[in-house]
Every structure is written in C-alpha cells, then in structure tokens.
Chains A and B, each alone.
Chain A
C-alpha cells in the first residue's frame, strides 16, 4: 500500500493547502464584521407595494392559539380566500419567521401576507431600507389607528411609521387572593413600599405564603419594568441603553432582597410543576399581567372561583405617576410583499377590533373600544372576587413605553440564564446586578448593538 509515489500525494496536497491559505490571507482585504454597515443603517424609503390582485388568496401565519382567529374570520367572511399556516409563532424565542423570510427574500417568493410574529421579530422586520412589515399608516384608517389604547402602538412605531397592529395588551396589575387577605386581615397595598412591608409581615405571621415570585424569566418585565429601570432603552435601530446601576433599578433590587430573605418571594418558576404542587395555593399576592387571572390562576392553578381579585399596579411612593410593565401582548404584521394588501389589512383590523370576536379572545384587547366587551365577558364568567374591569382599563395606558422589548435579544432569556440560577442558589438580587448588566451588554453587543 505505502509506496514512494503515493507518499508524495499528501505532501503535494499539504503544499497546495498552504499556498491556498496564504493566498486567501493575502487577498483577504474585505471586512468580516457582519455589522460593517455600522449601527446607523439606511432609514426605510417610501413604501412601494407589490402589484395588487384583490381577488388573490391571502396566507396567514399563526401560532396554534391564533388559528381560532382565522377560523372566526373565515366564518364572518366566507367570500374571502384565506389560508392559515400554523407555525411556531416565535414561541420560546424561535427565529423561524426571520429564517424563513430571509430564505424567501433570496428566492423572491413565498412570503405570507399576514403574520403573528414574536416580539423579537420587530427588531428586524421594521428596520432597514425595505422593512418586511408594511407601514400601515396609509393602509389602515386613521380613526381605527387612533382607537388603540394610548401607547399600545408605540412598540410598532419606528421612524414615525406604524408597522404592526397590536392584538392584545398584557399590562401588569396586582393580583391577590381576596379570601386569604380578608382571612389574614391585611389591606391591599397601593405602593411598592407598602407591598414590601406587608410581605415582611407575611414572612413573620404566615410563613410559606408568597407576595410574588422572581424565579420566572418574566421577572424583569414585572418588577424592573414597573420600576422604570433603563435595562433596555432603544435609542436607535441598533443603539441601546443598559444601565442597571440607575437608582430606578437598584431601588427595586433593594425592595426585593429583604422579601427574599423573609421567604415571602418565591424563587421557583411559577409554571414549575413543583411550584404548582407546593406553592400555588399559598399565593397571597402576585404582581403580574392581565392574563394571569384566567391563564394562571384559573387554568394553571385551579384557584377556586371567587378568590382572585385585581388591584391597581403598584407605584413607588416617590413617583408622581403610576407606571407599570407588561408580560407579552401580541401583534400582527402585514407583509410589504403582499399582493392583496386590502384583504390582509381587513383581516388584521377585524381580528383586533371586531367587538364580537375580541370579546371571546383569551387576552385583553389592545383596541380600546373592544376592551369593554372583553371585560364584560370576563366579569360574566363569575371567576373574580372583585370587578377587575376598572383596574385593567386604568393600567392599560400606563405601560412604561421606554422599556423596549423589540430587541433581537430577549431580556427574559438573559434573566433566566443568569439570574434564576443565582437566586435559586440563595444569592441576593443586589449582588447579581453587575453580572446581569454584563450579560445584557454582552448579548446586545454580540448581536451588533451599540450599548451606551
């Protein structure tokens, strides 16, 4: 096998590889940085729609939950040709939509007309010279756009143009167990400070009962967003401010730590099997989004009817106004490549504004007039111990809009991977703020953001 003639083969190959490597190094003058265009990319130019065909079928990409929306629309509009495609919907930070759209951009066809994206998709779909999402200012009536709750479309607005229609809002309020509160003789707090004091009392008087939990990825969206902490303030397409040393951040960390020591704050994820089995029945209070009522307490914990009530979002005593955070809240994109914009816009408008349909939806409608019907339906369910309507309506326009969820990275993922393991091993929130800050900065920088 091994003969002199075959021995020279590898040598030649080696020499060839060396020459080629050297050549590629010499010719390598181009920049390898994927963000070589710089942080300031070209702003979106004027929108030029694809040639329109009003009779063409529209394709709607939805997650499993939203297939009901397409069904309802189809029933109400039997004349419209509409095709539903179920996809991940960007669940768990899936980048399926972006991956597919990039492939479609290469092949020049295949884009869906309407999409139910995840919030990270806003970062790429609304920016660049020709954004994937169509600007809706001229496509949707001004009167309709004005009907969405104040601030709801802020997250959709880039460079003064509206790129998505908000489906629902997830404004945080203070959920509490009225039966337990009455039984223990506690007053419902209105400020974070009162909430902390009550939590410390709970730790002493009723150990094991909880006034909240910090073991879920959504914790920053509840506590730190509500505290108006600049953990993620977008100042441009690709520039972001991250400052967890700001007093608005440290005040929340210092508020939480004594409660952690007192055992009044849970460190397990609220959906964790162990939490549901051992701690869900001991929730006295829980700051959280509008959907907690039905999705968490009713469906998740099976808390009996007539116990759960909602109170206004907590505020800091020193703050003049109440601001709150949000956990979720979906939206619809209309593709700028759609060949039937009229039908696509009609679909997205209908599912977010139609009084009949939105009243039956699972989450709080972002369209102001639709909220009334939804709240009436919620109240009619008889599940709540008080009238949650005024509380939720009051909180809806109070979502602090500077906290940007529309970044390529997810704050939830960063918190889950850095803070949750630390807290569950007994560390304090304050001791981890620098680690958390660094984790956000690292992630943002790695994805091409300029952090200041």
Chain B
C-alpha cells in the first residue's frame, strides 16, 4: 500500500480523461463500499478520539463543580512555574528529534535503496528491530546502556567524563538522551516506510535522469527527495504529535535515576501531575488542549507546506 500510493495518485491525476470516462453508477457503488470500509475506523475514532477531545475541551473551560470558567484554567496553567520549563524542554527535544529523524531517516533510506541494495533486506530488518520491542522495554534497555558501570558502552561514557549514571542523566543532557532513545526505538519503522516510498518512484523517471547524466547524489536531491516530500511531511506530523506527548521516557528514566529527572519534565507529565497528584482534571485538560492546538497547528503547517492533500501534482 505504501509503495503504490504515490504513483497511483499521480497517474490518476495526470490522466483526468480516464476518470471522467468511468460509469457514474459504479462510482456510487464503490463509494458505498468505501463507507463500509471506513465505518469501523470512524466509529472508533469518534469513541476514542473525538469524544475524549470534546470532553477535554469541556473540562478545560469548566471547574470541578462543572461551572464555566472561560479561559480561567488556561491562565492558571500558563502562570504555573512549571509551564515555561516543560515547553522549553519539549521544544528542544522536538527540534533535535525532528531534525535527526528527517536527516538520518531519509539519508539511511536513500543509502539502503541505492548503495546497499544487496544487503539492504538485512539492514532494513536490523533498523526495524528496536521498534519491534514494546515502547517501555526499549527504554529499559537504555537505562542499562546509560549507566557507565553496567553499560557495554561504559568506556565511551567514561571517556566523555561521566563516571556515574547521575552525571549521564544531568538535566542538560536529557533532551539529547530522549532524542537518542526515541530515534533508536522509532526511526527503524520510518526507514522501512521511506524505503517503500522510494520503491514507489517509477523506475523510468530514475532511468531518464540517469540517461541525462545525473549521478546518485543528483538523483537523490532532484528526483527522490522532491518525490518523498509528502512522506517526509507525513512523518513529521506523526513524529511531532508523538514527540510532543513524550511521557514514558522521562517517567522511566526518572524512576530509574531515583527521581533525578523531575516528575514534571514534559508537558504530558505536567498534565499527569495536575490530574493525579493535585486531582485537578480541569488544569490537566487545559494542558492537553494546549498540546492539541500546538500539534494541530504544526500539522496544518506541514500539510499546507508540503501539499500533503493536494492530489494534482507532487
């Protein structure tokens, strides 16, 4: 599905005559089947996606007695001394994570596709492997890797000047550490997806470029990258939404470092603190809505910038 999506859309769009010529009745019929196919997803989306969002929106403008408070909860969480730091933390983490994801995933996928063709099946599998672990267990592996005494890369950590786990998880290192964990657990599946997208680029386009004298680098920069644009945008949207909700990594590293990572490092953790330590679900909902607005805003920017939903040209 991944491999064929792009070319089909393009082929269909470049030959509008074929579409128009299709019998009208058949289109209606296939539409009905289409509804059936999306029904399952839509129902689940309404139940577990839209309804909770609506509930969070409602909670964020009311107080615990159910009275409307307007933006009171928002001004309250904005004034919280932790609000600035959590978004600074997550902002730095997201910048590092999205850049590394974009640059490294695309580079690795291009290399696998072009240069390492013979070994690429094995390498692809190896890249994907860490992602096959459940999220929490892959974080646990890193807890061992980050302890200079227990880690197989202990000598490297010591060479950098870190002799104890406490020094490794110092506050200034945390965004980079979480970025590395996230990259290790999440990038593999994106490499596989990008590889599939690269397969979707028609061979004749590459062939034509090659005949015109383009080298591997030129093909990558001028043909493959522009054609991957929508996939990269798609990856960025999902990675941003996922990254902004960072929770497991700081929570587990915090527990493992005996509380050295504060329990309110990321916005999601702060929201959790509001809900389950202060029993303030309205404040928690306000933070959730802020995250939602940010994610939607960035998603919209990526969608329009990359023309994700434009079908006419890519």
Interface: A430 (CB within 8 A): no
Count contacts on A: residues with CB < 8 A to the other chain. Answer: 45
Using known A-B contacts A99-B276, A274-B147, A274-B164, determine if residue A31 contacts B69 with beta carbons closer than 8 Å.
Answer: yes
Using known A-B contacts A32-B282, A417-B263, A447-B277, determine if residue A272 contacts B164 with beta carbons closer than 8 Å.
Answer: yes
Q: Please report B residues at the A interface, Cβ cutoff 8 Å.
A: 61-65, 67-73, 75-76, 80-82, 147-150, 163-167, 170-171, 255, 257-263, 276-280, 282-283
Jot down 9 A-B pairs with beta carbons below 8 A, ordered by A.
A28-B68, A30-B62, A31-B63, A34-B278, A272-B149, A277-B149, A409-B277, A416-B259, A446-B82
| Residue from the list A34, A278, A447 in contact with B63, Cβ < 8 A | A34
Report A-chain residues with C-beta under 8 Å of the C-beta of B148.
274
Segment of A181-189, A202-210, A341-349, A418-426 in the binding face: A418-426
**Which of chain A's residues 423-452 have a Cβ closer than 8 Å to chain B?**
424-425, 442, 446-448
Segment of A263-271, A322-330, A391-399 in the binding face: A263-271
| Residue from the list B64, B80, B150 in contact with A34, Cβ < 8 A | B64
Are B276 and A424 touching (Cβ within 8 A)? no
Interface: A93 (CB within 8 A): yes
Within the assembled complex, what's the spacing in Å between the Cα atoms of A425 and B171?
Answer: 11
Within the assembled complex, what's the spacing in Å between the Cα atoms of A216 and B61?
Answer: 41
Main secondary structure on B side of the interface with A: loop
Are A34 and B259 touching (Cβ within 8 A)? no
Report B-chain residues with C-beta under 8 Å of the C-beta of A446.
80-82, 278
Within the assembled complex, what's the spacing in Å between the Cα atoms of A268 and B148?
Answer: 13
Within the assembled complex, what's the spacing in Å between the Cα atoms of A446 and B260?
Answer: 20
CB distance from B68 to the nearest CB of A (A): 5
Are A31 and B170 touching (Cβ within 8 A)? no
Residue-wise, chain A 208-242 has the 8 Å CB interface mask toward B (1 for contact) of: 00000001110000000000000000000000000
Interface: A27 (CB within 8 A): yes
Are A408 and B277 touching (Cβ within 8 A)? yes
| Residue from the list A28, A32, A271 in contact with B258, Cβ < 8 A | A271
Are B263 and A32 touching (Cβ within 8 A)? no
Interface: A413 (CB within 8 A): yes
CB distance from B87 to the nearest CB of A (A): 16
Residue in B68, B73, B148 whose Cβ sees the most chain A Cβ within 10 Å = B68
Are B165 and A93 touching (Cβ within 8 A)? no
Are A425 and B261 touching (Cβ within 8 A)? no
| Residue from the list A32, A273, A416 in contact with B72, Cβ < 8 A | A32
Among residues of B, the one whose C-beta sits closest to the C-beta of A418 is B262
Residue in B76, B148, B167, B263 whose Cβ sees the most chain A Cβ within 10 Å = B263
Residue in A30, A93, A217, A267 whose Cβ sees the most chain B Cβ within 10 Å = A30
Q: Please report A residues at the B interface, Cβ cutoff 8 Å.
A: 24-25, 27-34, 36, 92-93, 95, 98-99, 102, 124, 215-217, 267-269, 271-275, 277-278, 408-409, 412-413, 416-417, 420-421, 424-425, 442, 446-448
Among residues of B, the one whose C-beta sits closest to the C-beta of A218 is B258
Within the assembled complex, what's the spacing in Å between the Cα atoms of A68 and B263?
Answer: 31
CB distance from B89 to the nearest CB of A (A): 13
Within the assembled complex, what's the spacing in Å between the Cα atoms of A216 and B282?
Answer: 34
Within the assembled complex, what's the spacing in Å between the Cα atoms of A93 and B70?
Answer: 33
Are A30 and B65 touching (Cβ within 8 A)? yes
Using known A-B contacts A34-B64, A102-B279, determine if residue A28 contacts B71 with beta carbons closer than 8 Å.
Answer: yes
Report B-chain residues with C-beta under 8 Å of the C-beta of A420.
166, 258-260
Are A273 and B165 touching (Cβ within 8 A)? yes
Among residues of A, the one whose C-beta sits closest to the C-beta of B169 is A421
Are B260 and A421 touching (Cβ within 8 A)? yes
Given contacts A268-B166, A277-B149, 17 further A-B contacts (CB under 8 A): A25-B70, A28-B71, A30-B62, A31-B63, A32-B73, A33-B63, A33-B72, A98-B276, A99-B276, A217-B259, A272-B149, A272-B258, A273-B147, A275-B164, A424-B167, A442-B81, A446-B278
Are B69 and A28 touching (Cβ within 8 A)? yes
8 A-B pairs with the lowest CB-CB distances in the bound complex, closest first: A28-B70, A32-B72, A416-B259, A30-B67, A274-B149, A417-B262, A32-B69, A424-B166
Are A421 and B166 touching (Cβ within 8 A)? yes
Report A-chain residues with C-beta under 8 Å of the C-beta of B70.
24-25, 27-28, 32
Within the assembled complex, what's the spacing in Å between the Cα atoms of A61 and B62?
Answer: 34
Report B-chain residues with C-beta under 8 Å of the C-beta of A425.
167, 170
Report A-chain residues with C-beta under 8 Å of the C-beta of B63.
30-34, 36
| Residue from the list A277, A409, A412, A447 in contact with B259, Cβ < 8 A | A412
Are A95 and B277 touching (Cβ within 8 A)? yes
Report A-chain residues with C-beta under 8 Å of the C-beta of B147.
272-274
Within the assembled complex, what's the spacing in Å between the Cα atoms of A406 and B72?
Answer: 30
Report B-chain residues with C-beta under 8 Å of the C-beta of A267.
166
Within the assembled complex, what's the spacing in Å between the Cα atoms of A71 and B235?
Answer: 53
Within the assembled complex, what's the spacing in Å between the Cα atoms of A417 and B150?
Answer: 23
Within the assembled complex, what's the spacing in Å between the Cα atoms of A323 and B68?
Answer: 51
Are B263 and A413 touching (Cβ within 8 A)? yes
Are A274 and B165 touching (Cβ within 8 A)? yes
